[in-house]
Structure 1
Amino acid sequence: MIDAPGLLISAPSSGTGKTTVMLGLLRALRDDGLVVQPFKSGPDYIDPAFHRAASGRASFNLDTWAMDAALLDGIATQAQGADICVAEGSMGLYDGVATRGQVGFGSSAETARRMGWPVVLVIDAGGQAQSAAATALGFKAYAPDLPFAGVILNRIASPRHERLARLGMEQAGLTVLGVLPRRGDLTLPERHLGLIQAVEHPDLEAAIAGYAEFLRENVDLPAIKAAALGAAQTGQGALPTPPAQRIAIARDAAFSFTYPHLLEGWRAAGAEVLPFSPLADEAPDPDADLVWLPGGYPELHAGKLAAAETFKAGLRRHAQAKPVHGECGGYMALGAALIDKDGTRHTMAGLLGLVTSYEKRKFHLGYRRAVLSGPMPGFAAGQALRGHEFHYSTILDQPDAPLADVFDADGNPVPETGSIRGHVTGTFFHLITPEAVT
C-alpha cells in the first residue's frame, strides 16, 4: 500500500512561477529531513530531471489521458518509502483535452482528484491585488469536489500589495500559504521547447538552494506539510515491459528525453540499459539487442553529430541485423539530413530517408495515438500506442514506408506517421504506453 500524503502544485496558466515553487519546496522539505517523492502531471520531458536534482529521487509522470489505471497504480508505487509526495502540474489546472466530451480530461486537476492530493495554486499577483482572489476563488469553485489546500501569491511588489492581496483572499475564504516577493533572478533559463535541460544549467545546485531559501523565508512550510493528503494506492499496478533484454540507449545533451517510467519498467523487468554518448562519438554496445535514440536537441549539436563517425558506423552495423528505434530528435538523427536554423545541412546516420529542417520552423504539440502499420521494437503491427509530440522541425522529405496511422487526442489524423525501413523505425511522438489489447 502506498499511503504517503501529497500535494499538487498548479496555477491558472503557464508562466506563473510554479516550477520555481516546486523546486524550492522539494529541496526545503528534503532539507527538513523528509523523504520527498516528486511527480509531474502530464507529458513533460524536462521537469522530471529538475525534480530529481532538487529531491534526490527520480520523478515520474502521471498522465490520465495516456495511462490506464494499472500503469498509474504502478507509477504510484514509486512513492514507496517516501514521507510526502509533491507533484507539479502542467499548463493551467484544468487544461486538458476534450476526447471524452468532458472538460479537463488529462488535466492536472484530474491527476489531483485521482490521487487525492490537495491543490496549491500559485497565483501571479503582478498587476492586480484583490482581483487575484477572484481568480483563485473561481479555480476553487470550478470543481467543488477537488481538494484545495490554498494559494501561494507570487510576484508581490510591496508590503501594501501584499496587504491588499491578502485582504482579497480573506474575503474569499482562501488560505494563503505563502507570499513571494517579486524577484527577477529566480527564473530558469529557457529555449524553444521550454526550460533548458537540467544537465545544461550552469549552476543548478546553487539555483535550487536559492529557491529553497526563498521558499523557506516566504512560505508557511508547516502549513503546507499539514495540508498534504492522499488516497491510499492499494493496487500494485504494472510498469511497461522492456522491448529487448539488452538496450543500448543514447544519453547525453542531444538525447535525453525518455519517460522515466519506461526506463524504470525496463530495469525492473531485468533488462540491461546500456547508456552511450553520440556526442562523445561512442558507438552503441555491439552486444545490445536494441539501440534506442531518445528525443532531445540534436539540432543544437548537428555539426558534432554529423562528424561522429564512430557513432554512425556502429549504428549502421547494428541496423544490419538488429532493431534501431528513434523518437523525435532520435528519429531525426536516424534520417538522411538535418538542416539547422541557419540553413546549414548536416548529414545524419542515413538509416532512414528523413530530411528535417529547423530553418522552416513549425510548432507540433499534442497527444498522439498511433496504430502501428508495421512492427516496432516491443510491439507488433496493429498495436495501438499512446504518446506525445512536441517539436518545431519541418519534414522536407520522408520517403520511407509509414510506421503507423497517427491521430491527435480527438481522433484527427496527423501527417507525422513515423518511418520504417528494414530493422529501423522512428516516430515524432515520444512513447508513453501501449493501449491494453481488448
Structure 2
Amino acid sequence: MTGLVIAAPRSGSGKTMLSLGLMRAFTRAGLRVQPFKTGPDYIDTAFHAAACGRLAFNLDGWAMGAPLLDAIAGQAGGADFAIAEGAMGLFDGAAAPGETGHGATADIAAQLGWPMLLVMDVSGQSQSAAAVAQGLRGFRPDVHVAGVILNRVASERHERLIRGAMEQTGIAVLGAIPRLPDIRLPERHLGLVQAAEHPDLGQWLDRLADIVTAHVDLPAVQALTQAECTEAPPLHCTPPGQRIALAQDVAFSFVYAHLLEGWRAAGAEILPFSPLADEAPARDADIVWLPGGYPELHAGRIAAAVRFLTGLRDHAMRKPVHGECGGYMVLGAALIDAQGESHRMAGLLGLVSSHAERRLHLGYRRARLHTPVGAIAAGTVLRGHEFRYAGIIEQPDEPLADVTDAEGQAVSAGGSRRGHVTGTFFHLVATGGAPA
C-alpha cells in the first residue's frame, strides 16, 4: 500500500491538525484514505477514524516486529493511499532499540518505505527553518523527507523568506498555514479529550479540511504517496480467549485496533459491554477484558454500577478477568479521584490507586508472565506501553510479571494477580520477542 508519514521536528508543531485536515479533505474529495498513528496512542486514532470513515491503526517500531508492522499496514487494502500521523519529533524514541527500532516515527517510514512530509511550526523564525529541515532530511539515509508544510505563518513576507531559503536547499514547500489560535482541541491529563466527547466533531473536522484545502497543494501531497505496492501478510494476534467480553465506553476505550482485528482473525469473538451503562459481561465469555481509559472521571458511577460489579465478581469466581491501567484500577479495592475522594471498586485485587497526587509514569514495557492471562500462557513475553499519572497506595497481591523498561531496567509496578484475576498498568501492544 502506498502511504505518507506526517512528521515534525518536535511535538506541538501541528501534526494532528494537518493530518486530520488532509484526511478529511481527501475523504471529502471521494478518495479512500487509510489512517495510521505511529507509536502508542489511543486518542488520535479515534479522531482519524472519524475523519476518514475507516478504522485507524497504530504502528510501533519498538513493540512490533516487522511481520506485524507489515500486516497492520496491509489493513489499508481497498484504500487509495494511507496517511500516518507521526509522534513527537520524527527521530524521537526510546533510548534502547526494540523489535524494529526505537519507536520513532522515522523507524516506521523506513520499515514501510513511505516518504515523510514535515510540518514545521515556523513561529519565531524564518530562514532558519530551512536549516532545520535540511538537517532533518540528511540525518538518516534510510528515510526520505519529501517536502514541508509551513505552519503558523505570520505574514506573506514571513512565508516568502522561508520559501526562498527552502528553495536554496532543494526542499519543496507544499503549503503554508497561517496562525489560527482558535482551532485547538481541548485536552486533559492523558492528551486530547476523546473524539466521542467532542460536541461538534464533524463540523470541526470539516473546518480543518477547509483550512488545509485553502493553504496546501493537495495534488502535490497526493503525488508523494505514489510507490510500489506489495502483498502484506495476514494480521493475526494471539487472543486471550475465544469469547472475549470487552468493556467499551468513554471510561474504557483504550484498546488497540490491531489487537481486536487480530483476535477476530484468530477466530475470537468480541462481546462488548458498557460498565457505565451498568451492563454485566456476558456469562458465557471465556475472559473479561477491562481496557484502560478514564475510569477516574466516572468513579462514582462505576462504584454504583451494581449489575456490572456483580457480574464481574461472579465471572471472576469461575473464569479469567484482566484489566489494563484504568481497568486494573477498577479491579482493585479502591480508586481515589483527583479531589481525594475514595470510591470502592470491584475488590477482586487489593490495589488502591490514587489520582490525588499526580506523577507521570511513562514508557515502553517488556514483561514475562508468571501466570496465564486467559489463554496467554505463563512465560509469554508481552510488549506494551505505560502512561499514567495515578499512584499506588496499596498493592498487596502477588506480581503478575517481571517487567522492564526499554533499557532493560526493572519496573517495580509489575501488575498483580489473585485467583483468576490479573491486571497491569501497561497496555498490551504485542506478544513475543526478546525476554524480559
Same fold (TM over 0.5): yes
Query: TM-score band, normalised by the shorter chain?
Result: over 0.9
Query: Which residue number corresponds to residue 353 of structure 2?
Result: 356
Give the secondary structure class of the aligned counterpart of 1:420.
strand
Residues 356-389 of structure 1, C-alpha deviations (whole Å, 9 max, x = no match)? 0011111011100001111112322111110000
1:377 and 1:101 mapped to 2: Cα distance? 26
Give the secondary structure class of the aligned counterpart of 1:39.
strand
Residues 392-430 of structure 1, C-alpha deviations (whole Å, 9 max, x = no match)? 000000001100010000100011110100000000000
Any conservation in 2 of the 1:7–1:229 contact (CA below 8 Å)? no
Any conservation in 2 of the 1:94–1:103 contact (CA below 8 Å)? no
Which aligned pairs between 1:285-364 and structure 2 lie closer than 5 A? 285-364=282-361
1:191 to 183, 188, 191: 188
Residues 294-349 of structure 1, C-alpha deviations (whole Å, 9 max, x = no match)? 00001111111111111101100110101100000000000000001111001011
1:28 and 1:161 mapped to 2: Cα distance? 26
Change in CA separation of 1:191 and 1:313 when aligned onto 2, cut-off 3 Å? same
2:192 and 2:207 mapped to 1: Cα distance? 18
1:219 to 216, 219, 232: 216
Structure 1 window deviating more from structure 2 (402-411 vs 169-178): it is 169-178
1:276 and 1:415 mapped to 2: Cα distance? 32
Give the secondary structure class of the aligned counterpart of 2:208.
helix
2:228 and 2:298 mapped to 1: Cα distance? 45
Any conservation in 1 of the 2:238–2:376 contact (CA below 8 Å)? no
Which aligned pairs between 1:31-70 and structure 2 lie closer than 5 A? 31-70=28-67
Residue 232 of structure 1 deviates from its aligned partner by: 3.3
Residues 155-177 of structure 1, C-alpha deviations (whole Å, 9 max, x = no match)? 01111111112122112221001
1:103 and 1:266 mapped to 2: Cα distance? 22
**Aligned residues: percent identity?**
62
2:230 and 2:342 mapped to 1: Cα distance? 51
Query: Which residue number corresponds to residue 232 of structure 1?
Result: 229
Any conservation in 2 of the 1:258–1:295 contact (CA below 8 Å)? yes
Query: Which residue number corresponds to residue 204 of structure 1?
Result: 201
Which aligned pairs between 1:150-299 and structure 2 lie closer than 5 A? 150-230=147-227, 232-299=229-296
Residue 101 of structure 1 deviates from its aligned partner by: 10
1:188 maps to amino acid: L
Any conservation in 1 of the 2:370–2:378 contact (CA below 8 Å)? yes
**Corresponding pairs, count:** 435
2:431 and 2:269 mapped to 1: Cα distance? 21
Residues 124-171 of structure 1, C-alpha deviations (whole Å, 9 max, x = no match)? 011111111111111111113311110000001111111112122112
Which aligned pairs between 1:43-192 and structure 2 lie closer than 5 A? 43-100=40-97, 105-192=102-189
Change in CA separation of 1:391 and 1:36 when aligned onto 2, cut-off 3 Å? same
Is 1:432 the counterpart of 2:436? The answer is no
Query: Which residue number corresponds to residue 16 of structure 1?
Result: 13
Any conservation in 1 of the 2:324–2:427 contact (CA below 8 Å)? yes
1:76 and 1:152 mapped to 2: Cα distance? 24
1:6 and 1:70 mapped to 2: Cα distance? 18
Q: TM-score, normalised by structure 2?
A: 0.97
Give the secondary structure class of the aligned counterpart of 1:401.
coil
Any conservation in 2 of the 1:36–1:55 contact (CA below 8 Å)? yes
Any conservation in 2 of the 1:73–1:233 contact (CA below 8 Å)? no
Any conservation in 2 of the 1:326–1:334 contact (CA below 8 Å)? yes
Any conservation in 1 of the 2:71–2:235 contact (CA below 8 Å)? yes
Unaligned runs of 5+ in 1: none
Any conservation in 2 of the 1:247–1:273 contact (CA below 8 Å)? yes
Residue 111 of structure 1 deviates from its aligned partner by: 0.3
2:219 and 2:43 mapped to 1: Cα distance? 29
Is 1:384 the counterpart of 2:381? The answer is yes
Any conservation in 1 of the 2:235–2:261 contact (CA below 8 Å)? no
Give the secondary structure class of the aligned counterpart of 1:338.
strand
Residue 190 of structure 1 deviates from its aligned partner by: 0.8
Query: Which residue number corresponds to residue 410 of structure 2?
Result: 413
Give the secondary structure class of the aligned counterpart of 2:335.
strand
Residue 241 of structure 1 deviates from its aligned partner by: 2.6
Unaligned runs of 5+ in 2: none
Any conservation in 2 of the 1:93–1:107 contact (CA below 8 Å)? yes
Give the secondary structure class of the aligned counterpart of 1:50.
helix
2:200 and 2:301 mapped to 1: Cα distance? 24
Residue 237 of structure 1 deviates from its aligned partner by: 4.2
Query: Which residue number corresponds to residue 374 of structure 1?
Result: 371
